[in-house]
Each structure stands twice: as structure tokens, then as C-alpha cells.
């Protein structure tokens, strides 16, 4: 009898675990997530591509070209009414460390100075709970900001779907009550949920009735200040959707501030009503050509440039649509820290079979500091792509020297037009399948536009090692090729079950 009751109890526990795992993996998304804004025209002066590049010369000395946080600081210093920041990682270097740049302190100082110069300025800073170790310590920088009147909001990750349901269901059923938040066990147990707010952006009024933002893959964390990243400075009405998304995230995370202080200016909306919902296939191409013609007639220096904000799974939907629409003679270039999503992998292979040129620059994911098992996922995925495509998918590895090649850039281009997306979303299940909070911007513009040329020149410079003598940005595929089936199936298992830190 006792054994039967033990079996019944065990079955009940397993059933509860399965129900919680299923429910938390498919529950409705919270407000402000999976955003796909209208595609809006933007003045040429409001758009810029920014790349942080770190390499080493022939003697091993670091060679850097960084500008992303200079653009971030410019947005902060130009704001008149409000600033919204959403950074998943933020913090100063450990005592005794010598980071490439003390960007956390610079950003803190800029925000404090702007608050002193504009006392009525509303500032909202959203961050991931890992910034303050899930409540076990206080960030000195965030404490200074709080004291100055900046509203600091820690994202409520429990509102997100569980990317690791096998573990997270146990956490929700009882482990969180036992482990708690205090102490290293609680922090480690929380991290195994593999949930994160990974957005990396600053958004503010531009002082002229419009909105401006810097959206990219770079975080204001001193320990990451030497990493290679990409970002875009954008403006225009598409940012209204991003502003609404950020305020919604703050709301479901417990923020009770005055939302009217962060309202987008009505002047910008009245002045420009040229936003359209994206049209599929040929209709999209015809609309883009019509926009080019109209913009050229008006004398715009960047004819036909259109901006769209994408968050979470909306990035995946747009990316797959663009990849699937490519034809022979067109090209796909991508510079990535991580590539793992199976739908993206299959879309790249299908494009290569259609005669599309596919080039990938990947971080080799070497060492535990890459945030996962050494070499995974990129080495396994790259080897699969090369083998299954017969070499049609070409891969080069970024030569890292302790730092990370942390970009998240995909460019789809042909003879006439280019489409690109960049931001925080890496091409992994967690980033693209509505688990992490991510923010990307997509730009569509003529292939001949200066911005498109700048992005393609950036990629070609890294691909072809166009640098001063002794500097090599990238290495041949053979340098980190890994055909081991054990690593490949380990990656597939981790990606498929969600028990993966990538």
C-alpha cells in the first residue's frame, strides 16, 4: 500500500512538473515584446552605422577602433525631455582590472551631468537582474543614478517564457523557495533558468521634436569594453514603437512612474506620416522602388532608406522571410558571435543551393568566457554548413585575443537594394524564439546608398583582412573547423532542449 502511494505521489509530481514546463514555455508573451514596427522613412542625417573593432598587430599589441559609446554619450548629452536606457549588462571593472575603457563610469557621469543641467529631464534605466546579482548586491553606479532621481527598473524575468523548461519548471515549483536569492547558490540557481533581458540601447528625444536611438550589441560593462560590436544610430517614427515597448517592459517589471514624461513628440508624427506595414515579396520590392523614386524627386541624399524596429521573435520572422526570398546572384553576409538557430541554418543552406553567395564571419567561441562549452555552437554549426553545402557556404573566423567578436549583423543584398538587421539578437533559439528580451533595427535602402556601402565595406575589410601590415582580422575556416560528431550532437541536444547558455 505504501509503495503504491509513493508511486501515485511520484506521478503527481512528474505531472505537475510537465504541466508547469509546458505552460511556462508557451504562455502569452508580456506587453511590449515581439514588436514589429511599421517601416518608416528616415532622413539621411538620422542614420549611421557604427562598428567597434578590436584586433592585434604582429607583436600582439591591441589595435582598437571604437565609437559606439561615443554615439551613446552624444544621445545622452543632446536629450532635452527624456532618456530611456535598456542595458542587460552594466557595471564597472573589478578592482585591479585594466579594461579597455571605463564605459560604465563614463555613462554614469554623463547621465548625472545631464540631470544637473536639465533637472526636469526624465531618465529611465532598465537592466537585467544579473547586473546586481539578482538582488544580492547593489551596483555603485546604479546607486548613484538612483540618488540623482534616475528611475532604475530591474526586469521581471519571471514574466518571460522559459527557454530551459526542464530546469525552470523545478525552479518555479519549489527550488526558488529553497535556494532563495541570497548567497552564491541562489545566484547560480537563478542563472540556470537561462532567462535574460539582453537589449542594448539608448533612446531619447533629439531636442528637435523627434526621437533618436543607438541600438546595437554593445553593453556598457567595463569587462566588455574591448569587444568588437556593431550598432546603428537611427531616428524617425519607427522609434515610437520601441519607446512604447520599453515603457511596457518597465511597467510589467513594477515601474509606476509617470509615463506622460516619456511621450513621443506629436510634432514629429504630424510632420512625417510615411510609415507603412511591411509588404511581402514582389509588393515589397515595388514599394521600395516607388519610395526610391519619390525620395530622389524630393532631393533626399539617402533615397528610399527605411527603418523598422524588431524585437524578440519578430526579428526571426523578418530574417527568415528575407533569407527565403533571396535568388541566384544575390548575397548574404553575416558577422556573428553565435549562430545556432536551426531554422536559420536551414535557410542559409537553402539559399546557397539556389546560387546565393553566403559568407559568415564567426567568433570561434573559444574558452569558457564565451559563455558556454568551448567551441559551441559556432564550430559545430560552421562545420555542418560547410559540409552540407559542399563549401558553398563560406566561413572565416575572427581572430580574438581574449576579447569577443560580439557582433550581430546580417546583410542581404543584390545589385539594386540592401537589407540589413543588427542589434542584440544573436542567431540562437533563446534570442530569436521569444525567450530573451532582444532589440534589433532593420534598414532597407538602395545598394548604392552611402550607408549600405559603409556596411558592406566593413564586412569586406574584415573578410579580406584589409588592414595595416601585420594585422589580420580573420582566419581561414580550417583554423577552427570542428567536424567531431560528438560536439555536433551535443550542440543539437543543448539547443533542442533549451539547456544551453547560448
Of 408, 407, 400, nearest in space to 60 by CA: 400
| Alpha-carbon torsion angle 341, 346, 352, 357, nearest 10 | -20
Question: How many Å is the Cα radius of gyration of the chain?
Answer: 23
Strand spans (E) along 98-228: 122-127, 151-154, 200-205, 211-216
Question: Where along the chain do its domains lie?
Answer: 47-260, 277-497
490, 373 contact by CB (below 8 A):
yes
Residue 14's pLDDT is: 81
Cα–Cα dist 220/214, whole Å? 13
CATH code, residues 47-260: 3.30.870.10
pLDDT of the residue at 136: 87
Which residues contact residue 130 at a Cβ distance below 8 angstroms, ignoring those fewer than 6 apart? 88, 89, 191, 196
Beta bridge partners of 423: 440
- pLDDT tens, N- to C-terminus, the chain (502 residues): 677 777 878 888 888 888 888 898 999 999 999 999 999 998 768 899 999 999 998 888 889 999 999 999 999 999 999 999 999 999 999 888 889 999 999 999 999 999 999 999 999 999 999 999 998 889 999 999 999 999 999 999 999 999 999 899 888 887 777 665 555 567 888 889 999 999 999 999 999 999 999 999 999 999 999 999 999 999 999 999 999 999 999 999 999 999 999 987 654 444 445 787 755 544 454 455 444 544 444 444 456 799 999 999 999 999 999 999 999 999 999 999 999 999 999 999 999 999 999 999 999 999 744 455 789 999 999 999 999 999 999 999 999 999 999 999 999 999 999 999 999 999 999 999 999 999 999 999 999 999 999 999 999 999 999 987 789 999 999 999 999 999 999 999 999 999 888 8
Residues 6 or more apart whose CB falls under 8 angstroms from that of 465 comprise 471, 472, 473, 474
Sign of the Cα torsion 253, 255, 256, 259 reads negative
At 371 the pLDDT is: 52
47-260 and 277-497 agree in CATH topology = yes
In this prediction, residue 135 carries a pLDDT of: 87
Element (H, E) at 87: strand 82-87
What architecture is domain 277-497?
Answer: 2-Layer Sandwich (3.30)
**Max CA distance (Å), the chain:** 86
Tell me the three state secondary structure of residue 147: helix
Interhelix angle for 68-78 vs 103-117, to 10°?
Answer: 10
Q: How many whole angstroms separate alpha carbon 327 and alpha carbon 168? A: 42
What is the rounded CA–CA span in Å between residue 66 and residue 444?
25
| Pairwise CA distance, residues 441 & 309, whole Å | 5
Q: What is the pTM of this model?
A: 0.93
Please provide the DSSP assignment of 235-302 as one string. ESTTHHHHHHHHHHHHHHTT--S-GGGGPPPHHHHHH---EEPPPPHHHHHHHHHHHHHHHHHTT-SS
Amino acid at each position: 500500500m505504501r509503495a503504491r502511494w509513493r508511486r501515485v505521489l511520484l506521478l503527481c509530481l512528474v505531472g505537475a512538473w510537465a504541466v508547469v514546463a509546458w505552460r511556462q514555455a508557451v504562455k502569452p508573451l508580456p506587453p511590449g515584446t515581439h514588436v514589429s514596427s511599421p517601416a518608416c522613412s528616415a532622413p539621411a542625417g538620422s542614420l549611421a552605422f557604427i562598428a567597434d573593432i578590436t584586433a592585434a598587430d604582429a607583436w600582439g599589441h591591441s589595435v582598437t577602433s571604437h565609437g559606439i559609446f561615443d554615439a551613446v554619450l552624444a544621445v545622452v548629452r543632446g536629450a532635452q525631455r527624456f532618456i530611456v536606457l535598456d542595458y542587460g549588462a552594466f557595471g564597472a571593472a573589478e578592482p585591479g582590472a585594466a579594461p579597455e575603457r571605463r564605459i560604465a563610469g563614463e555613462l554614469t557621469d554623463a547621465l548625472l551631468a545631464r540631470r544637473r543641467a536639465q533637472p526636469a529631464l526624465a531618465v529611465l534605466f532598465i537592466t537585467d537582474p544579473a547586473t546586481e546579482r539578482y538582488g544580492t548586491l547593489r551596483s555603485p553606479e546604479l546607486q548613484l543614478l538612483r540618488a540623482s532621481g534616475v528611475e532604475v527598473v530591474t526586469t521581471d524575468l519571471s514574466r518571460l517564457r522559459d527557454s530551459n523548461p526542464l530546469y525552470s519548471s523545478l525552479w518555479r515549483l519549489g527550488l526558488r523557495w529553497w535556494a532563495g536569492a541570497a548567497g552564491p547558490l541562489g545566484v547560480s540557481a537563478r542563472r540556470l533558468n537561462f532567462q535574460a533581458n539582453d537589449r542594448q540601447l539608448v533612446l531619447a528625444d533629439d531636442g528637435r521634436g523627434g526621437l533618436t536611438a543607438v541600438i546595437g550589441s554593445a553593453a556598457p560593462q567595463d569587462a566588455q569594453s574591448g569587444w568588437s560590436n556593431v550598432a546603428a544610430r537611427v531616428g524617425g517614427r519607427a522609434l515610437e514603437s520601441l519607446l512604447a515597448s520599453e515603457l511596457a517592459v518597465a511597467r510589467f517589471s513594477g515601474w509606476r512612474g509617470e509615463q506622460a514624461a516619456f511621450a513621443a513628440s506629436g510634432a514629429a508624427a504630424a510632420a512625417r506620416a510615411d510609415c507603412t506595414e511591411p509588404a511581402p515579396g514582389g509588393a515589397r520590392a515595388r514599394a521600395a522602388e516607388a519610395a526610391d523614386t519619390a525620395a530622389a524627386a524630393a532631393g533626399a541624399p539617402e533615397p528610399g532608406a527605411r527603418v523598422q524596429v524588431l524585437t524578440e521573435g519578430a526579428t526571426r520572422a523578418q530574417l527568415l522571410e528575407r533569407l527565403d526570398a533571396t535568388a541566384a546572384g544575390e548575397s548574404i553576409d553575416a558577422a556573428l558571435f553565435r549562430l545556432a538557430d536551426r531554422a536559420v541554418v536551414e535557410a542559409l543552406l537553402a539559399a546557397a543551393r539556389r546560387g546565393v553567395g553566403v559568407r559568415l564571419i564567426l567568433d570561434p567561441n573559444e574558452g569558457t568566457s564565451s559563455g558556454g562549452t568551448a567551441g559551441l555552437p559556432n564550430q559545430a554549426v560552421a562545420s555542418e554548413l560547410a559540409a552540407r553545402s559542399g563549401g558553398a557556404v563560406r566561413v572565416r573566423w575572427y581572430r580574438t585575443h581574449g576579447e569577443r567578436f560580439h557582433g550581430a549583423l546580417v546583410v542581404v543584398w543584390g545589385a539594386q537594394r540592401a537589407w540589413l538587421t543588427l542589434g542584440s539578437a544573436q542567431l540562437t533559439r533563446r534570442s530569436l524564439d521569444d525567450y530573451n528580451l532582444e532589440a534589433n533595427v532593420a534598414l532597407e535602402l538602395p545598394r548604392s546608398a552611402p550607408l549600405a556601402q559603409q556596411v558592406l565595406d566593413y564586412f569586406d575589410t574584415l573578410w579580406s583582412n584589409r588592414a595595416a601590415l601585420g594585422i589580420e582580422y580573420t582566419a581561414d575556416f580550417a583554423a577552427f573547423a570542428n567536424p567531431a560528431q560528438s560536439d555536433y550532437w551535443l550542440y543539437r541536444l543543448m539547443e533542442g532542449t533549451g539547456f544551453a547558455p547560448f
